[in-house]
Amino acid sequence: MNTTSKIIFGCFIFIAFVFAWPSSVKQISADQNAQSDHRIVILGLDSNSVVSKESHMEMVDSIIGIMSTIKQGDDFYLMPMDSPGNYIGPYRAGESDFVEFPRKVRDIISNSENNSSLRVAVDETLGESYGLLDIESAPPGSGLYLISTNEYPNHEDYVGHRLDPLAGLFYERGWHISAFSLSGIPASNLEVSTNLAATTEGNIFQLQDIGGLKLFTDYLLTTDNRGKLISAGEKKLTFSNLLISDIGVLPGTEYVMALFFRESNAGSFRLKNPDGLEASTGDRSSSSVLETPNAVIWIINDPTPGNWNVDVTGISGLVSSWYLASNKYGLNFQMPEVVPTDEAATISAFITEAQSISVMGEDASISADVVTPGNTSITYALEDQGVDGDLKSGDGYYSAKIPAPLSEGTYSVSVHLGWPNVKYNLTRDFTFQAKVFPTIEMAPLYTSNLFVGEEYTVATIYTKIKDSPYAVLPSAITPQIANDLQFHGTLKTNPRSPDSEGKAWMYDVIFAPDKPGQISTIFHVNLAYANRNYSRSTGNLILESRVLPQAPQAPAQPYSNVPYQPAEPNTLPPSTNTPKTKIPLGIIIPLAILAIILIMIVIYHNSLPKPYGFISDESGNSVLNFDRLRSRRVIKSILVRHIVAGSETGMDEFIGSNFVFGKGSLLITATSAAHTIRVNDHPLVGSANVSDGTWIGATGKLFRFTKERTYPDHSS
């Protein structure tokens, strides 16, 4: 049925409900339409089936006792399923007149006629409950609990046209339909109840034994964020046996709720404080006891810290003991949800009281148990002394630094607040994830003999996770000059093969010095990863620069003032036929400059490492001699003869890589993703050192670098 049909059907039910409403209904004024602050609990009880079995009647009494104790402030109604319009209520749990509610429930059950063959019209109960919840403006979380062991109609027309539309209306208002499965419940009942609960996010509570009561109690506590029951013992008793339940009460405890689930409605319970003195309901106004056939609930307000115990005797059958403590201290923790595997982490905890941080006394201790993915447990003491990860002494934050995780995975942490002479503690559990974060690496290329005014590619930067590339924006990488605050040259990073967003995982480091000297620089990458901001840095890059040598100039000749001497008379002028041996100055200067440039090029060329070595195939046949490269460009072989591009080798397998020769070293560097290259069976990511005997794989072929030429009969 679609939403429109559900709304029309709901309106029909509501109109019929208003006209059929008995005269005992309270009048609702227009200003009472606001949503109530109190949840509504409706018990839809099939008393004709419950009365047939004493254990069922006792279980209903126990259910009401548990719900009214835990759901303080909720309004309770009883709706007989044979006459849903004649409900009783409301009775507010926690108020003095609530004792009337369980009494009236017992009276209705006791006065019912045993009729276990009746088919219950559950749709009428749903319709009346919806109308009641609507008129009372019930808040989300309110709902209907069905209790019956009779048959429910379950044919398709009944379920599809009557029950499903009503269940949809409940779900739209945030109201649930739940059911208690008592022993002997027929299959049709359980089938219909399960469908209703699934549609409205309700529950089916199996109550064939006292274990079901404990699970139902857990559900109520969890729904209200009250905590989790702590086991205090379980034993199958005879009338002569004794069960002693220990209850650990911590300092700051506001109240303790002790719960005992029993199979038989018998026995006695004696409560003793840490001094061993018995406390009774009559002489302790701070204690209260609620006793039902299958559950006994003992509440101790403002208990003395220490070990309390309860003696249980006179019971034949299974008894389980549990307790729940409410402490005024709140144990809180601070730690990232995700921690890098290469970074130490800090666990911090603090204690709150009335939403304020509380500094604990010297007798209190805080510790953390960390369990690794390999199930290894390590305990750390948390201190408030301004050391070992703690930022400030005495500020109420207790911290400990744990080493960088050894492996990826989920780590479990239990933080404990304890006191001496009390064997129990306040505990808070949480988990964190350890993951490998992106890193930044740098491969130096050419770092010395850098001339002022020239521009060089001095290094390559890679960002990756493990061995996989991880592209970042250029703005994420920033250089830092470590030793020269007055540096004004050019130091930048250029991305290689950026994607559509401008991201790349390989960057060239471009350097143009503005003065001679030596600088030290590192590069930082700032990233947001796994919902946290973090940074990583490279090692130092030392760059040495010098001034380009200048051509030598002839020294200036000093000026001499020669006095004028007149020519002698009748003397012939000197001959003009002397040979012309002087070269014009306009030719000498360009030739000198050219010679100086050539000399500088030769000096620079000779300062560069010379390519050396051989590449042979798997059989030992030499396929490449670095000293005899036919495809080498002349100008490049002069200016950067120490760098051999893959395209200059004449071998397609090495396209997309560079061979960089240094003084006694050789690097192979990936410049593109044209081919997958492996060095000694490891993928080439960035750069890798190549030494004598190194194997290089490319395009399915295997090559070997050697300093000396190899031959087929010498291959290895």
Kind plus residue range of the DSSP H or E element containing 541? strand 541-546
State yes or no: pLDDT of 8 exceeds 60: no
Domain endpoint, select from 502, 520, 546: 546
In a domain, 606, yes or no: no
pLDDT in the model for residue 607: 75
User: How distant, in Å, are the alpha carbons of 341, 383, 414, 433, 528 from that of 347?
Assistant: 15, 10, 11, 13, 21
pLDDT in the model for residue 80: 93
Residue 103, domain CATH = 3.40.50.410
Looking at the structure, do residues 132 and 16 belong to the same domain, yes or no? yes
In a domain, 587, yes or no: no
* DSSP class of 420: T
Looking at the structure, do residues 84 and 175 belong to the same domain, yes or no? yes
Q: Which domain holds residue 495?
A: 439-546
Residue 262, domain CATH = 2.60.120.1290
Residue 350, domain CATH = 2.60.40.1930
State yes or no: pLDDT of 286 exceeds 80: no
Looking at the structure, do residues 100 and 160 belong to the same domain, yes or no? yes
Looking at the structure, do residues 517 and 657 belong to the same domain, yes or no? no
The residue type of 24 is S
In a domain, 321, yes or no: yes
Q: Which range among 85-99, 503-517, 567-581 shows the weakest confidence by mean pLDDT? A: 567-581
| pLDDT mean over 585-600 | 82
Structural domain count, the chain: 5
Residue holding tokens 């709902």?
A: 143
Domain endpoint, select from 262, 295, 327: 327
Kind plus residue range of the DSSP H or E element containing 157? helix 156-158
pLDDT-derived band at 30 (thresholds 50, 70, 90) equals very low
Looking at the structure, do residues 322 and 333 belong to the same domain, yes or no? no
pLDDT in the model for residue 673: 67
Q: DSSP letters along 255-270, please?
A: EEEEEEEESSS--EEE
pLDDT in the model for residue 582: 60
Looking at the structure, do residues 194 and 310 belong to the same domain, yes or no? no
For residue range 359-384, list pLDDT tens digits in order.
887 778 899 999 999 999 999 999 88
Looking at the structure, do residues 108 and 185 belong to the same domain, yes or no? yes
Question: Three-state SS for 568?
Answer: coil
Looking at the structure, do residues 200 and 77 belong to the same domain, yes or no? yes
Residue 634, domain CATH = 2.60.200.20
Looking at the structure, do residues 288 and 305 belong to the same domain, yes or no? yes
pLDDT in the model for residue 357: 83
Looking at the structure, do residues 16 and 161 belong to the same domain, yes or no? yes
pLDDT in the model for residue 552: 53
In a domain, 68, yes or no: yes
Looking at the structure, do residues 144 and 183 belong to the same domain, yes or no? yes
Neighbouring CB atoms inside 10 A of 144's CB total 27
Residue 496, domain CATH = 2.60.40.10
Residue holding tokens 């750390």?
A: 380
Looking at the structure, do residues 372 and 476 belong to the same domain, yes or no? no
In a domain, 589, yes or no: no
State yes or no: pLDDT of 630 exceeds 50: yes
Domain endpoint, select from 504, 523, 546: 546
In a domain, 595, yes or no: no
pLDDT-derived band at 639 (thresholds 50, 70, 90) equals confident
In a domain, 351, yes or no: yes
State how far the Cα of 306 lies from the Cα of 368, in Å rounded to an integer: 23
pLDDT in the model for residue 282: 41
